[in-house]
Amino acid sequence: MSSRLALRAGLISLLLFLLFIGTWSVATRPVEATDHGADAEYAALMGKGVDKASGFPPPAKVGEAFVTYLSDPFYDNGPNDKGIGIQLGHSLIRVGIGFLLAVAVALPLGFAIGMSPLLFQAFNPFIQILKPISPLAWMPLALYSLKDSDISGIFVIFICSLWPMLINTAFGVASVRKDWINVARTLEVGPLRKAFQVILPAAAPTILTGMRISMGIAWLVIVAAEMLVGGTGIGYFVWNEWNNLALPNVIFAVAMIGLVGMILDQCFGVLQKLVTYRE
Amino acid sequence: MTTHFLSIEGLKKAYPGAHPPVFQDIHFGIDKGEFVCIIGHSGCGKTTILNVLAGLEDATAGGVIMDGREVSGPSLDRGVVFQNHALMPWMSVLANVAFAVKSRWPDWSKAKIAEHSTRYLEMVGLGHAIDKKPAELSGGMKQRVGIARAFAIEPKMLLLDEPFGALDALTRGTIQDELLKIVQATHQTVFMITHDVDEAILLADKVILMSNGPLAKIAEIVEITMPRDRTRADMHHDPQFYRIRNHLVDFLVNRSKNYAGSDTTVLHDPKHPPVVRPGLLEEEAPAGASFRQAPQLKQVVNH
Ligand SMILES: Nc1ncnc2c1ncn2[C@@H]1O[C@H](COP(=O)(O)OP(=O)(O)O)[C@@H](O)[C@H]1O
Ligand SMILES: [Mg+2]
């Protein structure tokens, strides 16, 4: 029953995709020379219609870009010409490091804040003010004080991953069922064992939700950050190809960003399933 | 008086902001191997007393002495069965019990912990379900795991807060029988809250009656004089059963409100709450077995 549903949904997805590609090719088909004179003149006046190649690329052109880049994803011909795999790798490494640093800070701090109403109240105003700041707003300060574009990128990822994880960890820890804590108390369970065997598993689903949100934001932010600081990464690739006016490559990169983002999200979805418990 | 295994002396609990204390001047004792039930209307403070006994909550005044030592904070000496089982849902049934056993005997090997835990799970009839998660169990089975967990640490005393309150009548009956068997085999000392009069009569050696809050008191201590080998199936045939039952129900329905605050309509010494044996007719009372608080018994019963 559900497999039939999946099949039908898949068919509709395929139809939607074909419709999209179809509309796209119709909209971007080469302009024929049968245009009305006045229109051609007008177009010429406006500086358009002269160079057909500069129009929005049709699907076939973008398809070519897919084939070219995916057939050799890891080549490296100097700073401005690297395979898509290498560029994505740079972005993923920055996101990975920034994210792990954020985990290292958010988990212990979130635990402390979640366990102590005093710390919660003390930290809360700072969290509330810092949370809504766009992570890119930190970039100038990071560049100035860290003096390194790579580390600044990582810092921006760190700062944007921090808040959802911190808040969810604190919330998850604070709302662990009183009963479970009382069980641990009546069994005279030590603080470390209580933290790792009771509170952590109890709060794990909430914490992982925070991590999943953080990872989503980090992947959004890395593209913008790399556009700003340049050098390497998928964001830089997009910006570079835009400067080359190579729109097919830009579209290809945009699709890759979406694909990798989806895979990251799915990974966290799997982790989340692993730690979720039914009551 | 302090010869009791556990004695509660002058216990009082007042929540900040709430003006009259929930209860005060609570005195009673529990002997080793005794099964004591406490009955009273909702909100009179039964759970609070149990939590103080467990060391999970502090009393405003008074104290609890167990085995010659003042109770302060929770301890493995007192096992608790929580009202809604309080199993950790991410652990298997076995792991839930093993977690407790490991806390009690940290030096034991994994195998020994598993073997000990399994034995207690088999005792409550769950030998077949040790690898299941709590979510896969029925309410009754979960409560059994909670009981196995509490027994497995072999505490000096067991505290149960309405352990069967959420169960249907059939399941409740079966588990009562199981609990009775285990308690009789292990001579466990038990303090249990219940709102079920029949349950109290079946299980308890004595039933503590608590008057309504605020300012709740121990109104009476009812000794269950029926033979200890009574069972759920046959206790109805004992003429004592109805006398005790009527006495308890009469207290809950008619008398429990007469103790409150300053409108106390009953002469009452909180340090020595009357001990009554409604199961025995006066002429049946064995010669020489004097009621410890006979004069007060009359006052209460004739009220
Ligand atoms: N944290 C609290 N603050 C104020 N009042 C409380 C608190 N906890 C319990 N109470 C009050 O204490 C009384 C006794 O509660 P409880 O021990 O749970 O009663 P019982 O178990 O007999 O139903 C109730 O009237 C309840 O309203
Ligand atoms: Mg209660």
Beta carbon of B3 within 6 Å of any ligand 1 atom: no
Q: For the complex shown, is ipTM > 0.90?
A: no
A49's tokens: 């219609």
Interface with chain A: mutation pick from B90, B137, B143, B160, highest number of A CBs within 10 Å? B90
pLDDT value, residue A116: 94
pLDDT value, residue A220: 96
Name residues whose C-beta falls within 8 Å of residue B181's C-beta, 6 or more positions apart in sequence. none
Beta carbon of B48 within 6 Å of any ligand 1 atom: yes
Helix axes A149-174, A84-115, angle to 10 degrees: 40
Q: Could you identify the atom of ligand 1 that is nearest to the CA of residue B41?
A: 22
Q: Residue A67: what residue type?
A: V
The span from the CA of B130 to the CA of B94, in Å, is 5
Per-residue tens of pLDDT for chain A, all 279 residues: 688 999 999 999 999 999 999 999 999 887 765 555 555 555 555 554 444 445 889 999 999 999 988 988 888 888 778 889 999 999 999 999 999 999 999 999 999 999 999 999 999 999 999 999 999 999 999 999 999 988 999 999 999 999 999 999 999 999 999 999 999 999 999 999 999 999 999 999 999 999 999 999 999 999 999 999 888 999 999 999 999 889 999 999 999 999 999 999 999 999 999 999 998
On the CB side of A232, CA atoms within 13 Å amount to 21
| Cα distances (angstroms) measured from residue A203 to each of A160, A221, A277, B95, B182 | 22, 27, 10, 18, 35
Specify the pTM.
0.84
How many CB pairs (< 8 A) connect A and B? 60
Segment B26-42 mean pLDDT: 93
The span from the CA of A238 to the CA of B26, in Å, is 76
Beta carbon of B15 within 6 Å of any ligand 1 atom: yes
pLDDT higher at B288 or A38: A38
What are the CB-based long-range contacts (under 8 Å, 24+) for A247-251? A247/A56, A247/A57, A248/A57, A248/A61, A248/A62, A248/A64, A248/A65, A249/A65, A249/A69, A251/A57, A251/A62, A251/A65
Interface with chain A: mutation pick from B47, B53, B81, B88, highest number of A CBs within 10 Å? B88
pLDDT value, residue B267: 62
Segment B81-103 mean pLDDT: 95
Beta carbon of B213 within 6 Å of any ligand 1 atom: yes
Contact present, A161 and A99 (Cβ < 8 Å): yes
CB atoms near residue B16 (< 10 Å): 5
If DSSP states are collapsed to H, E and C, what string results for A18-35? Answer: HHHHHHHHHHCCCCCCCC
- Pairing mode, strands B206-210 and B35-40: parallel
**Could you read off the pLDDT of B227-263 as tens digits, one per residue?**
988 888 889 899 999 999 999 999 999 888 877 654 5
pLDDT higher at A255 or B215: A255
Q: Which residue has the tokens 């190809």?
A: A241
DSSP summary character for residue B36: E
pLDDT value, residue B250: 92
B296 pLDDT higher than 50: no
pLDDT value, residue A54: 57
What are the CB-based long-range contacts (under 8 Å, 24+) for B173-181? B173/B232, B174/B140, B175/B140, B175/B143, B175/B144, B175/B147, B176/B202, B176/B203, B176/B232, B177/B231, B177/B232, B178/B124, B178/B125, B178/B144, B178/B147, B179/B147, B179/B203, B180/B231
The span from the CA of B220 to the CA of A1, in Å, is 64
pLDDT value, residue A33: 54
Ligand nearest to the CA of B161: 2
pLDDT value, residue B291: 44
Contact B133 A185 (CB under 8 A): no
End-to-end alpha-carbon separation of chain A, Å?
28
In A, what residues contact B, Cβ < 8 A?
177, 179-180, 182-183, 185-189, 193, 197-198, 201-202, 204, 275, 277-279
pLDDT value, residue A30: 79
Domains in chain A with CATH codes? 59-275 (1.10.3720.10)
Which member of B79, B89, B100 has the closest CB to residue A279?
Answer: B89
Site to probe by mutation for ligand 1, drawn from B22, B51, B195, B209 as the one with most ligand atoms within 8 Å of Cβ, is B22
Mean pLDDT of chain B: 86
The span from the CA of A115 to the CA of A192, in Å, is 13
Shortest distance between the Cα of A113 and any Cα of chain B, in A, equals: 22
Q: Which residue has the tokens 């002058």?
A: B10
pLDDT value, residue B186: 86
The span from the CA of B248 to the CA of B299, in Å, is 16
* Per-residue exposure over B280-296, b if at least 16 CB sit within 10 Å of its own CB, e if not: beeeeeeeeeebebeeb
Contact present, A253 and A241 (Cβ < 8 Å): yes
Q: Residue A263: what residue type?
A: I
**Could you read off the pLDDT of B48-84 as tens digits, one per residue?**
999 999 999 999 999 999 998 999 999 999 999 998 8
